[in-house]
């Protein structure tokens, strides 16, 4: 699928589910890594992570587009467009837009650090580095130590 086909898909989904036209640009953005798509507040464009389409197919892409169109139409309508806003939650439910998309990689695959509790031995995988002077074990409140930097 290319950007022109994506643009046509976004326009048709907007008309079908929201009864309003999509008047801006929809495009794939290869730089997106942790999100399925995003609505740009300044330009009103929608960017989609192409890996979501490659991994999960057309149905996942439609769900992401519906989610981003909720942001789009509510923002342009001057209503609550953020995830926490009740208007966003109501519209998402009406059109069947999911709150999150499926991750491309599991948490374990994305983890960069391995920590171990010095007291009970429980091991923790973390994506971001943890300050072991502040963070404690969630099981026994023991001290954590960095075992391995995985990347």
Whole-angstrom distance, CA of residue 96 vs CA of residue 76? 20
Task: Report d(CA 81, CA 110) in Å as an integer.
Answer: 30
Structure tokens at 134: 């502040």
Backbone angles phi, psi at 37, to 5 degrees: -170, 175
Catalytic positions: 68
């Amino acid at each position: 699928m290319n950007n022109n086909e994506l643009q046509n898909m976004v326009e048709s989904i907007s008309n079908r589910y929201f009864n309003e036209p999509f008047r801006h640009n929809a495009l794939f953005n290869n730089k997106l890594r942790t999100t399925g798509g995003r609505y740009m507040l300044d330009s009103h464009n929608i960017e989609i992570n192409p890996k979501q389409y490659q991994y999960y197919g057309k149905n996942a892409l439609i769900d992401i587009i519906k989610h981003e169109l909720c942001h789009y139409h509510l923002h342009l309508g001057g209503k609550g467009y953020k995830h926490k806003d009740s208007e966003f939650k109501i519209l998402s439910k009406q059109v069947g837009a999911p709150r999150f998309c499926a991750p491309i990689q599991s948490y374990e695959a994305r983890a960069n650090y391995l920590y171990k509790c010095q007291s009970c031995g429980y091991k923790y995988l973390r994506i971001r580095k943890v300050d072991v002077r502040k963070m404690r074990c969630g099981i026994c409140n023991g001290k954590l130590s960095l075992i391995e930097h995985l990347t």
